[in-house]
Amino acid sequence: MNWIELRALNNLYSNGEVKINDTLAKSGEINYLINSLRILDRTHNKLFVLEGFAEIYEKDYLEEYHRYEAFLSDNKLLKPQLRFEESDIQILIGIKEDMDNGNLEPLREQIIKNEATVRIVSLMFFKNEKYLIGKDALINAVKLLLDIDELADDKDLQYKYVLECVNPKCIVLCENIDFLKRPTLARANNIELWYAGGKNVNKLDFVDTRGLTIYYSCDWDYDGLYIIYPLVKEKIPDIRLLTPNAIPKGIIETEHNSKWENIKDRNIDYLLTPKQISVLEELVVNNQWVIEESNNLIDMLKTRKSIF
C-alpha cells in the first residue's frame, strides 16, 4: 500500500466514507477488503464501511498508521501530494532510528566523503540501485534524514564502503549494507566490514586485504550464491564463504525474487564446503532462502574456524 491508501483507510475509520480516486479504485488492499472480507463497499464515487470494518482496522492497521503519521509529521514529510509506499516509510523510519542512535554516522561520513550517487544510496537502503531513480520526494527524504545536502547523480559505482575498527582481526565483505549499519558488534570484536554493492564487484580488482583473512557474507539465495559469490571469488580467490545460521524463510511466503529454479545446470559445489553443500541442498528442496542480516555474524565466523 502507499500513503494514499493508508490515509484513505484511516479516513474510512474516522468518517465512514471517502471519495474514490484512481489509486483507491486500483488498490489491491481495498479490493480485498471489499470482495474477500466484505467489510467495505463502494458506489460509483465513494467507498463506505460495513459491519466489522472498525474491528479489523483497529486490529491490523490503526497502530501502524499512527506510527507512520507521527513519523512523517515529526520529520516534516507529511505533504498533500505524498505517495510513499508503506515499505518506503518503514525504511525511512529505520534510517531515522539508526541516525538517532549513532549507528549510521560512520556510513554517513563515507557517503559524504565518497560523493555517493543516488544509485549507491538506493542500493544501500532499498537493495535496488534503480529504486530511487526519478523519485525526487523519496530522495529528498533520505537526504533529510541522513543530514546530507547533495547526492551525486551519476553511475559511478567504484567505491567500496568500509566500517573500520581498531586492530582488525579479519575482514567480512557483505553483499548487503545491513551489518555496516550496526557497527557496535563488529567493532567490539575487531571485525572490519566491507560493502561493495551486491553485483558491482569490478572495484574489487583493486582491494588490498593487508594480509587479513577475508570472509564473504551474503543472502543464501540464487543471486547471492550462484551469481555474486562466484564473481567475488574470481576477484578475491582467498575469500571464504560464511555458512548461515539464521532460520530460513520461504521464497513464496516472502515474495522473494531470487528463485532456485534458475539454477538449471549451474554448479557451485566446488566453491562450497561439504556442510555448505548440505545447507544449500536443504534450502533448494524446501524452496527457502536465508536473509544475510538475520544471521549471527560472530557465530558464523566461529563456525568457519577463524581467529574467533
C-alpha cell recorded at residue 272: 562450497
- 180 with 259, same domain: the answer is yes
User: Please, which residues bridge with residue 2 across strands?
Assistant: 85
Give a yes or no: residue 81 inside a domain: no
pLDDT over 70 percentage in the chain? 96
In whole angstroms, give the CA distance from residue 268 to residue 277.
9
- 58 with 99, same domain: the answer is no
Predicted local confidence at residue 67, as pLDDT: 97
Residue 130 predicted with pLDDT over 90: no
Mean pLDDT of 183-211: 89
In whole angstroms, give the CA distance from residue 219 to residue 263.
15
For the chain, the domain total comes to: 3
Asked if 192 and 233 count as a contact pair (C-beta separation under 8 A), the reply is: no
- 52 with 166, same domain: the answer is no
Residue 128 predicted with pLDDT over 50: yes
In whole angstroms, give the CA distance from residue 110 to residue 209.
19
- 241 with 281, same domain: the answer is yes
Residue finishing a domain among 29, 47, 74: 74
For residue 307, what pLDDT band results from cuts at 50, 70 and 90? low
- 213 with 268, same domain: the answer is yes
Predicted local confidence at residue 79, as pLDDT: 87
Give a yes or no: residue 69 inside a domain: yes
For residue 156, what pLDDT band results from cuts at 50, 70 and 90? very low
Give a yes or no: residue 151 inside a domain: no
Give a yes or no: residue 154 inside a domain: no
Lowest mean pLDDT among 54-58, 109-113, 214-218, 225-229: 109-113
Q: Which domain holds residue 24?
A: 3-74
For residue 63, what pLDDT band results from cuts at 50, 70 and 90? very high
Asked if 117 and 157 count as a contact pair (C-beta separation under 8 A), the reply is: yes
Query: Could you report the per-residue pLDDT of 241-284, keeping only the tens digit for each?
Result: 999 999 999 999 888 888 998 887 788 999 999 999 999 999 99
Predicted local confidence at residue 158, as pLDDT: 61
Query: Could you report the per-residue pLDDT of 13-27, keeping only the tens digit for each?
Result: 999 999 999 999 999
In whole angstroms, give the CA distance from residue 182 to residue 94.
12
Residue 33 predicted with pLDDT over 80: yes
- 289 with 204, same domain: the answer is yes
- 123 with 246, same domain: the answer is no
CA separation, residue 291 to residues 56, 120, 123 (Å) = 31, 20, 16
* CA angle, residues 207, 209, 213, in degrees to nearest 5: 140
Give a yes or no: residue 79 inside a domain: no
Residue 152 predicted with pLDDT over 80: no
Predicted local confidence at residue 129, as pLDDT: 79
Residue 155 predicted with pLDDT over 90: no
Give a yes or no: residue 152 inside a domain: no
**β-strand pairing of 170-174 with 213-217:** parallel
Please tell me whether the overall predicted TM-score, pTM, comes out greater than 0.75 for this model. no
Residue finishing a domain among 21, 43, 74: 74
For residue 308, what pLDDT band results from cuts at 50, 70 and 90? low
- 193 with 90, same domain: the answer is no
Q: How many CB atoms lie within 10 A of CB 25?
A: 12
- 172 with 249, same domain: the answer is yes
Mean pLDDT of 221-238: 94
In whole angstroms, give the CA distance from residue 115 to residue 138.
19
Mean pLDDT of 206-233: 94
Residue with the three cell numbers 550517487: 117
Q: What is the pLDDT of the chain when averaged over all its residues?
A: 91
pLDDT over 90 percentage in the chain? 71
Query: Could you report the per-residue pLDDT of 295-306, keeping only the tens digit for each?
Result: 999 999 998 765
CA torsion angle 168 171 172 176 (round to 10):
90
C-alpha cell recorded at residue 22: 484512481
